[in-house]
Amino acid sequence: MADFHDQQPTVFVLDFGAQYAQLIARRVREARVYSEIVPYSISAEEVARRKPAAIILSGGPASVYAEGAPHMDPAVLTMGITILGFCYGIQEMALHLGGEIPKTGIGEYGFAELEVTNAESVLLEGVPTTSRCWMSHRDSVGTPPPGFSVTARTATTAVAAMEDPSRSLYATQFHPEVAHTEFGQHIIRTFLHDIAKIPPVWTMVNIIDETVARVREQVGGDRVNCELSGGVDSSLVAALLHRAIGDQLTCVFVDHGMLRLDEAEQVVTTFRDQFHIDLIHVDAEERYLGLLAGVSDPELKRRIIGEEFWQVFFEEATKLEGVKWLAQGTLYPDVIESGNKTAAKIKSHHNLIPFPEGVHFDLIEPLKALFKDEVRAVGSELGLPEEIVQRQPFPGPGLAVRIIGDVDREKLGILRHADAIVRDEIGRWDTDREVWQYFAVLPDIRSVGVMGDERTYARPIIIRAVSSADAMTADWARLPHELLATMSNRIINEVEGVNRVAYDITSKPPGTIEWE
Ligand code: XMP
C-alpha cells in the first residue's frame, strides 16, 4: 500500500504477529512520523525498494525458540537502515547477529524496575537511572552480539536494552510502546527524531492536503458517490472528498428511521446546509417498519436492516448518471485485519458485503491509512461539528438492537425520548469523556407501578453506561447516585409509557455492551 509513503518519511513496523504492532504504529504517529505495518517476512530487496526511514521490530511469540516462531530476513538488519527492536525484536536481532539467548525459560511479566547501566546510551538518553517498564517475555538475551553494548537491566533480565550506534541498531527487551513503560514514548521519540533524524512532519493539515491531492489525482473529472450515515468515518470521507472534488460528489443518506433523536436532521443540516454537499436523503422509515413488523429475533432484525440498507443505497446510487466511484470509510485497522483484501467489498458495520449483481463502482478509500484517533483529529480540523467528531460508537442497525423484541413506531418513540434524556444528563456530567458509551435500552416487558393514585402497567427503561478502552472488554460505569436519580425522575416524568428505570451493572464479559 503506497499511500502516504511516497510523500512522507515512513517507519516500517515489522509485525511478528503480536497485538503490539498496531500500538507501535500509533505511537510512532503520535510522535508525528508516518508509520506502516509490514509483514515480518518482508525481504531485504523489498525494503531496499521501498526505502523506509527507519524500522521497528515488534514483539511476538514469547521466545525465538518457540515452535513455529517467525523469523525475519536477516539481511534487513545489515542494510544500514536504523532499526529498533522491542521484546521479540531484541531476540531476533541477537539471534541473527551472533548474540546468545540461553534457553532458561525464565520469563518476566508485568512491571519491572528498569536500571540504566550505561550513561552513554544513545537510545536511553534522558531516561533516569531507575524507572518503571513493562515486560512480557520468556527467554531473553544472555550475551549481546559482537559490537553491541548492554545499556540497561532489570532484576531478572540482564540485557534489558542493547545498542550498536556504529551500525545504528538498538533494542529493548521491555515494551516502550505500552503506557505502563514510564519513559516509553520518550524513547520512541529519541529513536525517531534524534537517532534516525526523521522530522516530526506528520500533522493533520498535512494529512488533509495530501489526501485531497491524491483524491483529485485518482478520480480526475469523474463523479463519486458516498454513503453517509452520520458516523464519524463516513462524515469525514464526505468532508474530505467535498474539499477535494466539490460538486463531483453526491452523498446518499439512507435514513432507516432507527436513528437517535434529531440525528437525521443533524446529518442533513451539517452536510447540506453547512458543507453545501449534494445530499440525497432517503427517508426509508416506513419501508423498514414494514419489514421489521413482528420480527423479534435479534439476528434476523440485523440481517433485514443490513440487507435492506444496501438495497436502498444501491437503488439510489445507480439512479445517478455517470458515477464511477464509491467512497467508503475503511480505516487502517480494517485493512490490517483483513490482510488488505478489502477490494470490491463494502464495509458494512462488522461485515464485508459484495456488490449486488450487475452493479459496479471503483472503490475509493481516503481514510485507509488512518487510525480512529487521527480520523477524529482530521474531522475537527475540517470543521465537522463536535457532536459528529466525538460521536460514540453506534450500531449500524441503530435503535432496533436496543429495542428487545419487535420494533414499532411507538417503541421507537419511547426509546428515542428516554435515550435523549440519558445522553443529555450523562453528557453534561461526563465533560472529559471518561464514559465510553451510554444509552437507553427498551426491554420487552411491562411491570406494575403506581403514579398519582393510579396503578400503572407500563414499560421499564434500562440505562447502560460503560467504561472501556476499545469495546473488547468493558465495565459498567460507576455513575453517581444523584445522576442516576435525576435520570430516573426525568425519564418517568417526561416519557409517556414508562414507569420504571433500571441500571445495568454487568461488565463485558460476561455481558456485551449492547443488549442484542
Ligand atoms: P458489543 O455489544 O458486542 O459491542 O459488546 C461492541 C461495540 O460494537 C458496537 N456495535 C456495533 N457497531 N454495528 C456497528 O457498527 C453493529 O451492528 C454493532 N453492534 C455493536 C457497540 O455499540 C459497541 O461499541
With bands split at pLDDT 50, 70 and 90, how would you rate the model's confidence at 18? confident
Provide the strand spans (E) within 154-203.
161-164, 169-172
> In whole angstroms, what is the distance from residue 59 CA to residue 252 CA?
43
Residue 28 CA to ligand 1 centre (angstroms): 28
Residue 443 CB contacts under 8 Å (≥ 6 apart), including other chains: 404, 405, 459, 460, 462, 515
Question: For a pocket test of ligand 1, which of 347, 514, 515, 516 has the largest count of ligand atoms closer than 8 A to its C-beta?
Answer: 514
Q: Which atom of ligand 1 is nearest to the CA of 231?
A: 15
- The yes-or-no verdict on residue 366 having pLDDT over 60 is yes
In the chain, the percentage of residues whose pLDDT exceeds 70 is 96
Q: Which atom of ligand 1 is nearest to the CA of 350?
A: 13
Burial of 293 (0-12, 13-18, 19+ CB in 10 A): exposed
Residue 175 among the catalytic residues? yes
> In whole angstroms, what is the distance from residue 101 CA to residue 175 CA?
18
Write out residues with Cβ below 6 Å of ligand 1.
349-350, 393, 395-397, 437, 471, 508, 512-514
Q: Mean pLDDT score of the chain, rounded to an integer?
A: 93
Which of 311-320, 335-344, 396-405 is predicted least confidently?
335-344
Distance of CA 230 to the CA centre of its chain: 17
Among 137, 175, 256, 417, the active-site one is: 175
Q: Report which protein residue has its CA nearest ligand 1's atom 4.
A: 513
Q: Which atom of ligand 1 is nearest to the CA of 396?
A: 13
Task: Give the pLDDT confidence of 87-112 residue by residue, as tens digits.
Answer: 999 999 999 999 999 988 888 899 99
Task: Give the pLDDT confidence of 144-188 residue by residue, as tens digits.
Answer: 999 999 999 999 999 999 999 999 999 999 999 998 999 999 999
Identify which of 94-108, 382-396, 411-425 has the greatest average pLDDT: 411-425
- The yes-or-no verdict on residue 344 having pLDDT over 50 is no
Q: Which atom of ligand 1 is nearest to the CA of 349?
A: 15
Residue 490 CA to ligand 1 centre (angstroms): 27
> In whole angstroms, what is the distance from residue 344 CA to residue 364 CA?
10
Q: Calculate mean pLDDT across residues 418-442.
A: 96
Among 36, 108, 163, 177, the active-site one is: 177
Residue 408 CA to ligand 1 centre (angstroms): 22
Q: Buried (b) or exposed (e) across 373-383, using 16+ Cβ within 10 A?
A: ebbbbbbeebe
- The yes-or-no verdict on residue 84 having pLDDT over 70 is yes
More confident site: 446 or 309: 446
Residue 471 CA to ligand 1 centre (angstroms): 8
Question: For a pocket test of ligand 1, which of 513, 515, 516 has the largest count of ligand atoms closer than 8 A to its C-beta?
Answer: 513
Q: Which atom of ligand 1 is nearest to the CA of 508?
A: 5
CB 217 within 8 A of CB 189: no
Q: Mind listing the domains of the chain with CATH numbers?
A: 4-195 (3.40.50.880), 204-389 (3.40.50.620), 402-503 (3.30.300.10)
pLDDT of residue 336: 75
Residue 360 among the catalytic residues? no
pLDDT of residue 506: 97
pLDDT of residue 353: 61
C-alpha R_g of the chain: 27
Residue 45 among the catalytic residues? no
pLDDT of residue 342: 31
Backbone angles phi, psi at 384, to 5 degrees: -70, 145
Q: Calculate mean pLDDT across residues 16-41.
A: 92
Residue 26 CA to ligand 1 centre (angstroms): 23
pLDDT of residue 66: 85
Distance of CA 70 to the CA centre of its chain: 26
First-residue to last-residue Cα distance in the chain = 37
Task: Give the pLDDT confidence of 431-490 residue by residue, as tens digits.
Answer: 988 999 999 999 999 999 998 889 999 999 999 999 998 888 999 999 999 999 999 999
In the chain, the percentage of residues whose pLDDT exceeds 90 is 83
pLDDT of residue 504: 98
Q: Report which protein residue has its CA nearest ligand 1's atom 10.
A: 395
Residue 394 CA to ligand 1 centre (angstroms): 7
pLDDT of residue 457: 97
Q: Report which protein residue has its CA nearest ligand 1's atom 3.
A: 512
Among 87, 133, 226, 251, the active-site one is: 87
Which among 214, 222, 242 has a CA at the least distance from the CA of 362? 222
Q: Calculate mean pLDDT across residues 491-511.
A: 97
Residue 253 CA to ligand 1 centre (angstroms): 21
DSSP codes joined into one string, 336-356: HHTTT--TTEEEETTEEEEPP
Q: Report which protein residue has its CA nearest ligand 1's atom 6.
A: 471
Q: Report which protein residue has its CA nearest ligand 1's atom 13.
A: 395
Lookup: cell for 224: 463519486
Backbone angles phi, psi at 308, to 5 degrees: -65, -35
pLDDT of residue 470: 82
With bands split at pLDDT 50, 70 and 90, how would you rate the model's confidence at 341? very low
Residue 395 CA to ligand 1 centre (angstroms): 5
CB 218 within 8 A of CB 48: no
- The yes-or-no verdict on residue 350 having pLDDT over 50 is no
- The yes-or-no verdict on residue 302 having pLDDT over 60 is yes
pLDDT of residue 337: 63
Residue 204 CA to ligand 1 centre (angstroms): 28
DSSP strand pairing (149-153 vs 108-116): antiparallel
SS (H, E, C) 424-476: HHHHHHCCCCCCCEEEEEECCCCEEEEECCEEEEEEEEEEEEEECCCCCCEEE
pLDDT of residue 355: 80
Which among 469, 400, 406 has a CA at the least distance from the CA of 433? 469
With bands split at pLDDT 50, 70 and 90, how would you rate the model's confidence at 352? low
Q: Buried (b) or exposed (e) across 26-60, using 16+ Cβ within 10 A?
A: bbbbbbbbbbbbbebebebeebeeeebbbbbbbbb
Q: Report which protein residue has its CA nearest ligand 1's atom 14.
A: 395
Q: Report which protein residue has its CA nearest ligand 1's atom 9.
A: 395
